[in-house]
Amino acid sequence: MANMREIKSRMKSIKETRQITKAMKLISAAKLKKARHQLDQTKPFFDKVKATIGDILMHSGNLDNIFFDIRNQKEGKKKGYLIISGDKGLSGGYNHNLIKLAEDEIKKDPQSLLLVAGHMGRSHFLRKKLNVQADFDYRIQNPTIYLAREISEKVLDLFKRGEIDELFLVYTRMVSSISLEPTIMQLLPLNIPALREDVNVSELKIDESLSYEPSPKAVFDVLIPKYVKGIIYGALVEAFTSEQSAIMSAMDNATSNADEMLQRLNLYYNRARQAAITQEISEIVGGAAALQ
């Protein structure tokens, strides 16, 4: 058993660490509250854009638009992945689970173009020497609509120029405060049946009686970039919210572990103290007996 000085030194170190983890937990809790509010404000905008697209699809037949171009006839379709990871560690398995999902998908096509937002994911894929877009470097702390617009403009430009034929979005969806689910979804090209199903028009007969000025294509050229921006913004906010929830949970577990370690060390300290006292008494009694 370690002596009292070693135990006391270790208890002091754990108490200092516990103060840090407790403070980080409180900071993450405050950020999580703010992020949840931001997420609640984002949802109505996204739902409205989605409903508008569904309404147009319901009143449109065959659409000739680049955003619905599935390019089935093209050989060697180029894939791209927009990956939203965390900026910081100390978040339990948050980044590990997301990166693992992304890697499993990338294995199917190692030449896929990676657009990675977030320091943790970007540094990981650069170490793996994968095809990471060099000038795509964004932090996801405090996500804004301006950041989402800048990212959406870049990915749409890559899609329009044919540098990528399919783009998938990889981020962490917050099912609940204790359930975080890494998710992958196809962002481009848009899936018409899926969009109609999302707005409950999949079973309705297509009605082409309404007309759009100047044309449905022109409307989509304006609306789709807003839709993509809304998707990316929602993913950024949800990923940031998930990261703060993961950090808060990890720091809460670390604080609880520190409390348990302090209890055990306190027990060891008391035992060592009692042993030292017993030894001193024994030495005194032994010395007194020797003098008699």
- Compute the distance between CA of residue 132 and CA of residue 185 in angstroms, rounded to an integer: 19
Per-residue pLDDT, 203: 46
- For the chain, what are the domain ranges? 4-20+254-285, 22-250
User: Which residue in 239, 217, 78 sits closest to 147, CA to CA?
Assistant: 239
Determine contact, residues 81/236, Cβ cutoff 8 Å.
no
Whether the per-residue pLDDT at 42 is higher than 80: the answer is: no
Indicate the class that CATH gives domain 22-250. alpha beta
Residue the block writes with tokens 């008391």? 270
Whether the per-residue pLDDT at 161 is higher than 80: the answer is: yes
Whether the per-residue pLDDT at 44 is higher than 50: the answer is: yes
Extract the tokens encoding 98: 């997301």
Mean pLDDT of the chain: 82
Whether the per-residue pLDDT at 1 is higher than 60: the answer is: no
Q: pTM here? A: 0.81
In the structure, what pLDDT confidence band is assigned to residue 71 with cuts at 50, 70 and 90?
low
Whether the per-residue pLDDT at 204 is higher than 50: the answer is: no
Give the Å distances, CA to CA, from 2 to 59, 158, 270, 278: 78, 63, 12, 16
Percent above pLDDT 70 for the chain:
83
